[in-house]
Structure 1
Amino acid sequence: MNPGKIQLLKIAEKNYSGLFLEDENGERAFLPKIFASEDAEIGDEMEVFVYQDDDKLKATTEKPNAEVGEFAVMTCVQSLPSGAFMDWGIIKDLFVPYKQQKQKIVEGKRYLVHVYIDEFLGLITGTTRFKRNPQYEDLPFRKGDKVNLILMGEGELGWNVIINKKYIGLIYASDVYKKLFPLSEEIGYIKSVREDGKIDVSLQPEGYENNDEFQQIILDKLNANYGLLYLSDKSEPEEIKQELQMSKKNFKKAIGGLYRDKKIEILEDKIRLLDENE
């Protein structure tokens, strides 16, 4: 049995209050009747999330915001001197002990929480205290991989982010081309996995193979501005960043392709959308 994980278990016993689910080793977790299908039969397999409640293993068909080993943004539903209870998407709230709070958790506010098994108590626990830029081994990423991000916060080098709910990475300030907000979600791309196991991420794909995306952004902006955009290859990077949320490098690649395809005209201080007949 793996507490804190979604897993496939077999129905071993039924009674008036619910089902007893069993793993291959014979260990059991109780699934309350409210989560059990009426036509469930002994021997059937069910995908459930297993958690702990009063030193007993219970199961639910609800999906938590994060399993053990993952991060998620959670709202505090109750704050006590001993710790805080967080809504993590299932019937039982997740406990974050006071000593595991980076700052005191306030009821009603949202926090980034990491779920783990306390090594002394053996209980599923939450924490808001974790390293901002850890070193990893055997990472499952390659340069250019598209990933899901949760924004942690801004530091001296840039934005710390959670990658695919499991890993901490960094977006350098020079790669940020739009307004970002802590705890919001973004799509990102693996920029590099360094030899020291740290992960660099970008908000935009790199290379000519992704040029179509940038070209479309520019065409959309031209169409929305009556065919004119007061940017050119001589524009300052900050102007391009503010208007299009892309780097000057990607902007120049994109307008170069649009010019070769005779879709735009590049003037000294602006670009102009060409009519199909021009």
Structure 2
Amino acid sequence: MEIGKTQQLKVSEKNSSGYILVDEHDWKAFLPKIFVHDEMDEGDEIEVFVYQDDGKLKATTEKPNAEVGEFAVMSCVQSLPSGAFMDWGIIKDLFIPYTQQKLKILEGKRYLVYIYIDEKTGLITGTTKFKRNPQYVDLPFKKGDKVNLIIMGESELGWNVVINKQYIGLIYASDVFKKLYPLSEETGYIKTIREDGKIDVSLQPQGYENNDEFQTIILKKLEQNYGLLYLSDKSTPEEIKDELQMSKKNFKKAIGGLYKDKKIEILEDKIRLL
């Protein structure tokens, strides 16, 4: 049975308070009746998340914010000298020992948390201490893939990010064309997977094949501004960044395509929607 993971289990017994679920190795977890909408019989299968509570394995149909091996932003519901309890989306709170807190966790505040199984205790545990820009092997994506990001924080090189809740990557400062906020979520694109296993990410798609997205942004902006946008080839990168959150290079590619398709007119200091 995969502790801290969502999985398919089978009903082996039922009683007045709930169901005993088993996996293929006959490991057991208890599912309280409150989490089941329809009555189940022995042999029925159900998808549940398995966690620990008072030394026993329990199951829930609730969806946690993250599973073992993943990151998530969580709020602290109780802070004690021994550690902090975090709301991770299920009935049971996640415990972060004091020794696994990068900074003292305060009640009511939000933090980026990584979930793992503690080797000494065997318990599902959280931590706010994690390695920056680790080296990976056998990554499940390739250059150009669209990914979900959690913004971690700013560094000397740019912004550290969590990719698809599992991997840490970096957005270089030169690739940031909008205001970023720690713990916020963004859409990103894999820019480079380096030989050392580190991951570089961009907030914008790369290359001409992704030009449609930039064209769509510009067309929407033109419609919002009554068909006029006071940007042109002569505009500075900062002006384009502030207005459209894209690089000057991508802006020039996009308006070139829109002009070719006769969707806009390029004037000396502005572009006009046709």
Length-normalised TM-score, structure 1? 0.96
Which amino acid in the other structure matches residue 68 of structure 2? V
8 Å CA contact 1:115, 1:124 repeated in 2: yes
Verify the 8 A CA contact 1:7 1:48 in the aligned structure 2.
Answer: yes
Which AA in structure 1 matches 2:19?
L
- Residue 83 of structure 1: CA displacement? 0.1
Could you say what secondary structure the match of 1:30 adopts?
strand
Q: Aligned-pair distance for 1:149?
A: 0.7
Q: Which residue of 2 aligns with 1:204?
A: 204
Task: Provide the residue aligned with 2:160 in structure 1.
Answer: 160
Query: Matched residues in 1 for 2:15 and 2:244: separation?
Result: 61
CA RMSD of aligned residues (A): 1.1
Cα distance in 1 for residues equivalent to 2:179 and 2:38: 50
- Structure 1 regions of 5+ residues with no counterpart? none
Aligned to 1:89: 89
Report matched runs for 1:125-140 at 5 Å.
125-140=125-140
Partners in 1 of 2:217 and 2:79 — Cα distance?
45
Tell me whether 246-255 or 212-221 shows the greater mean CA deviation: 212-221
Residues 1:35 and 1:223: Cα distance change in structure 2 (over 3 Å): closer
SS in 2 for 1:108: coil
- Report the CA distance between 1:216 and its aligned residue: 1.8
Deviation for aligned residue 1:226: 2.8
Give the distance between the partners of 2:15 and 2:219, measured in 1 at CA.
Answer: 63
In the alignment, which residue of structure 2 is the partner of 1:74?
Answer: 74
For residues 188-246 of structure 1, the C-alpha deviation after alignment (integer angstroms, 9 at most, x for no partner) is: 11111110000111111111111122112112222222322221112111110001110
Larger mean CA deviation between 259-268 and 151-160 belongs to: 259-268
Mapped partners of 2:260, 2:167: distance in 1: 41
Distance in 1 (alpha carbons) for counterparts of 2:23 and 2:269: 68
In structure 1, C-alpha distance between the alignment counterparts of 2:92 and 2:266, rounded to whole Å: 60
1:154, CA displacement in angstroms?
A: 1.0
Aligned to 1:178: 178
Match of 2:28?
A: 28
Tell me which residue corresponds to 1:141: 141
Task: Give the residue type in structure 1 aligned to 2:134.
Answer: P
Matched residue of 1:192: which SS?
A: strand
Displacement of 1:94 in angstroms is 0.2
Structure 1: distance between partners of 2:59 and 2:264:
60
Tell me which amino acid in the other structure corresponds to 1:69.
G
> In the alignment, does 2:247 pair up with 1:247?
yes
2:208 equivalent to 1:188? no
Native 8 Å contact 1:141 1:193 kept in 2: no
Q: How does 1:230-269 map to 2 (within 5 A)?
A: 230-269=230-269
| Contact 1:148–1:187 (8 Å) recurs in 2 | yes
Count of equivalent residues: 274
Distance 1:37 1:219 in 2: 47
Report SS of the residue matched to 2:92: coil
Q: Say if 1:51 and 1:124, in contact at 8 Å, map to a contact too.
A: yes
Does structure 2 retain, via aligned residues, the 8 Å contact 1:146–1:187?
yes
Question: Any conservation in 2 of the 1:18–1:31 contact (CA below 8 Å)?
Answer: yes
Q: Does residue 148 of structure 2 align to residue 110 of structure 1?
A: no
TM-fit CA distance, 1:266: 1.9
In 2, the alpha carbon distance for the partners of 1:146 and 1:245 equals 18
* Alpha-carbon shift at residue 142 of structure 1 (Å): 0.6
Give the whole-Å Cα distance in 1 for the aligned partners of 2:190 and 2:102: 28
- Counterpart amino acid of 2:56? K
Mapped to 2, the partners of 1:84 and 1:163 lie a distance apart of: 25
Distance of 2:159 and 2:181 partners within structure 1? 10
CA distance in 1 between counterparts of 2:33 and 2:12 reads 14
Mapped to 2, the partners of 1:225 and 1:38 lie a distance apart of 53
User: What SS does structure 2 have at the residue aligned with 1:69?
Assistant: coil
* Regions of 4+ moved over 6 Å: none
For structure 2, the 5+ residue unaligned runs are none
3-state SS in 2 of match to 1:168: strand
Structure-2 change in CA distance of 1:35 and 1:225 (3 Å): closer
- Residue identity in the other structure for 1:115: I
Contact 1:258-1:264 at 8 Å conserved across structures: yes
Report the CA distance between 1:264 and its aligned residue.
2.0
* TM-score, normalising length: structure 2: 0.97
